[in-house]
Amino acid sequence: MHIDENTPDAGWFTGTLEATVGFLRAGSLWPVTFGLACCSIEMMATGTSRFDISRHGSEVFRGSPRQADLMIVAGRLSNKMAPILRQVYDQMAEPKWVISQGVCASSGGMFNNYAIVQGVDHIVPVDIYLPGCPPRPEMLINALTTLQDEVKKQPLWQSRRKEIAAAAEAAALKATPTSDQFGLLR
């Protein structure tokens, strides 16, 4: 997107529709109010004046998933809670994004047992994995701004989406799988 500063009285800018829509979407990602465990305390702290998530346009935590764009999975997800989380995700209107906050949400973390889902990516598609136990509010804000960068680049048209999915798949096929990375665990 380009704003012309040289033309006198220019009330316009140039850019693609894709970039403009992405810019607007990224500026107001409203998270759904959905705290699961101790990570949600950090999520709440992120909304307070000290850290002030509203600087990034995300201060409006929505009680109704219909009005939310972003789900921050804040904490460990139990097997019993999993269908509820999925229902809240399904009720959110497209486009929607998911941040998996903390190790428990991302991989089960320290709770490798019968009661906890070993990573919420079993239940919902995750856009950003945020490590930490729990991550500081600064880290959550970093995850949010990283997600905003992704949202700004998100393609609008179906053909472009296929292109990007194919590129991502090709990159994943080229990467060394963790099972082949020997000698790194101490």
Q: Which two tokens stand for residue 138?
A: 């600064």
Residues 113-152: x where in contact with another protein by CB under 8 A, - otherwise, as a string:
xxx--x----------------------------------
To the nearest whole angstrom, how small is the minimum distance from the Cβ of residue 186 to another protein? 10
Decide if residue 158 touches another protein (CB under 8 A). no
Q: Which two tokens stand for residue 95?
A: 């486009």
What is the distance between the alpha carbons of residues 74 and 103, in angstroms, rounded to a whole number?
10
Window contacting another protein (CB under 8 A); options: 9-17, 98-106, 164-172, 178-186 = 178-186
* List of residues 6+ apart from 155 with CB closer than 8 A: 18, 161, 163, 164
Strand partners, 32: 62, 71
| Residue owning tokens 């950090």 | 42
Decide if residue 174 touches another protein (CB under 8 A). no
Nearer to another protein, 46 or 107 (CB): 107
Residues that bind another protein (CB under 8 A): 79-80, 107, 112-115, 118, 178-185
